[in-house]
Amino acid sequence: MHTTTSQSLYHEALDVIVGGVNSPSRSFRAVGGDYPIFMKSAKGAYFWDEDDNQYIDYLAAFGPIILGHAHPVITKAIQDVTEQGILYGTPTEKEVRFAQMIRNAIPSMEQIRFVNSGTEAVMTTIRLARAYTGRDKIIKFAGCYHGHSDLVLVAAGSGPSTLGIPDSAGIPASIAGEVITVPFNDPEALSLALDHWSDQVAGILVEPLVGNFGIVPPQPEFLQQVNQLAHQAGALVIYDEVITAFRFHFGGVQTMYQVEPDLTALGKIIGGGLPIGAYGGKKKIMEKVAPMGPMYQAGTMAGNPLSISAGMACLTELSQEGTYDQLASMGEQLESEIWNAAKKYNHTIQLNRQSGALTVYFCDQPVTDYDGAQKSDSKKFGQFFHLMLQEGIYLAPSKYEAWFLTTAHSQEDINKTIEAIYKSFKNLPHS
Ligand code: PMP
């Protein structure tokens, strides 16, 4: 496979775009690659790069592309908007209808505000929790990435740890000092932290099913314990469902497990591939937001007709009968073949899967928290990643990311992927 055009574009990019990429997770540094692949076009489950190589895509743009690329319903929704004007700076009916659609699927979001990214959504839920409780501190879970706002880049994992940078430079110690980090799935650690700082904690920020050090589900009762401990301490529970909402079923992880947070942040899938974020929660809390209350948040592009229409088209498609069963059944097939292939060629792996999203770890203990995920062998993952790439399978270039199935993947794609998995494990060095 020749990728020389990507190589030369990368050299040009390095000159003009810092690091050659517009988001560090797109770089191939974490997987030992000299240059990332530059894609030229995409349709359904496929990508084509600048040298016309075809790949089956399991990146799904880090999550949003759950219907595959250039889905006709989303394309049509976008085209319709372009003829009606793309940005008004006024309220529109579509925003109301979309908010209603989301609230029907995730009832704890009694009131909603649209923003432009997951980062903005999470950042604002934190401000709101602080405004509502009059407290400053936030508890988060080690390794969970919640966007790139100052407060949550403390022990963030995902992007930063992929690069081997523990956190980020440029964050004042005074801000980092407001963040308490505890291990995921560890109610005792959470309880101890709350005992110590109880009357200072505004909120507990949690990915109810982690998507950022791979797919890591909560252990039974963990989410209930988070709620109970938070509320005893007078703190709010904030769910970051930027990755998880509408990923596993038509709703959030909260509706899947029937646990209600006070506030929720959304992004990714709800934009159908266009930039979006949303936050929402209990009405009595949301009423603190301007113009109703004293907590300010605004956005020129917020609720823009393109993102709202693409998002509505995406959720309408996802709500069709059988969609999530299809994703889960493809996920199940991949899971069982990955285990078989690893066993056949004597490689020790762990695999976590929820429906159509899975992560393969190269380690010998089940992964239930960030410490466990970190033990996954980076070198082995990098080798596996490149072997799969050579077979035309595009995985996320990080051991901490998931393989995302989309409704565009066909049985033929799955069969080809399974062939590539066997070949890659066969050729994967043992040490
Ligand atoms: N929260 C989570 C759980 C995420 O995975 C991400 C992005 N990967 C974000 C927040 C930030 O979203 P965005 O990149 O849209 O700002």
CA of residue 195 to ligand 1 center, whole Å:
30
List Cα–Cα distances, 260 to 227, 404, 407, 429, in angstroms.
8, 26, 28, 46
The single residue listed with the structure tokens 């930027």 is 242
Domain parsing of the chain, residue ranges:
4-70+321-427, 72-319
Ligand 1 nearest atom to the CA of residue 117, by list position:
15
CA of residue 155 to ligand 1 center, whole Å:
15
Q: Whose CA is nearest to atom 5 of ligand 1?
A: 243
CATH of domain 72-319: 3.40.640.10
The sign of the dihedral angle between the CA atoms of 231, 288, 171, 59 is positive
Q: How far apart are CA 81 and CA 77, in angstroms?
A: 6
Beta-strand ranges (E) seen in 99-226 are 111-115, 137-141, 179-182, 201-206
Q: Is the CB of residue 240 below 6 angstroms from any atom belonging to ligand 1?
A: yes
By most ligand atoms within 8 Å of CB, the mutation choice from 21, 119, 210, 241 for ligand 1 is 119
CA of residue 122 to ligand 1 center, whole Å:
8
SS3 at position 234: coil
Q: How far apart are CA 303 and CA 96, in angstroms?
A: 10
Q: Is the CB of residue 25 below 6 angstroms from any atom belonging to ligand 1?
A: no
Residue 63's identity, in one-letter code, is: G
For 4-70+321-427, CATH number out of 3.90.1150.10, 3.40.50.1000, 3.40.50.720, 3.30.70.260 equals 3.90.1150.10
Q: 3-state DSSP helix/strand/coil percent for the chain, to nearest 5?
A: 45, 15, 40
By most ligand atoms within 8 Å of CB, the mutation choice from 212, 244, 263, 268 for ligand 1 is 268
374, 363 in Cβ contact below 8 A? no
Q: Is the CB of residue 157 below 6 angstroms from any atom belonging to ligand 1?
A: no
Ligand 1 nearest atom to the CA of residue 23, by list position:
14
The single residue listed with the structure tokens 């089956």 is 56
> Which H or E run contains 139?
strand 137-141
Q: Is the CB of residue 209 below 6 angstroms from any atom belonging to ligand 1?
A: no
Q: Is the CB of residue 145 below 6 angstroms from any atom belonging to ligand 1?
A: yes
Q: Which two tokens stand for residue 398?
A: 């990080």
Residue 109's identity, in one-letter code, is: M
Taking only the tens of pLDDT, the chain with its 431 residues reads 899 999 999 999 999 999 999 999 999 988 998 999 999 999 999 999 999 999 999 999 999 999 999 999 999 999 999 999 999 999 999 999 999 999 999 999 999 999 999 999 999 999 999 999 999 999 999 999 999 999 888 865 544 333 334 478 888 888 888 999 999 999 999 999 999 998 999 999 999 999 999 999 999 999 999 999 999 999 999 999 999 999 999 999 999 999 999 999 999 999 999 999 999 999 999 999 999 999 999 999 999 999 999 999 999 999 999 999 999 999 999 999 999 999 999 999 999 999 999 999 999 999 999 999 999 999 999 999 999 999 999 999 999 999 999 999 999 999 999 999 999 999 999 97
By most ligand atoms within 8 Å of CB, the mutation choice from 116, 146, 215, 247 for ligand 1 is 146
User: Which residues belong to the active site?
Assistant: 145, 240, 268
Beta carbons within 8 Å of 299's beta carbon, 6+ residues apart: 114, 115, 116, 120
Q: How far apart are CA 128 and CA 204, in angstroms?
A: 12
Q: ipTM of the predicted structure?
A: 0.99
Beta carbons within 8 Å of 23's beta carbon, 6+ residues apart: 159
Tell me how crowded residue 185 is: count the other CB atoms within 10 A of its CB. Answer: 18
CA of residue 277 to ligand 1 center, whole Å:
9
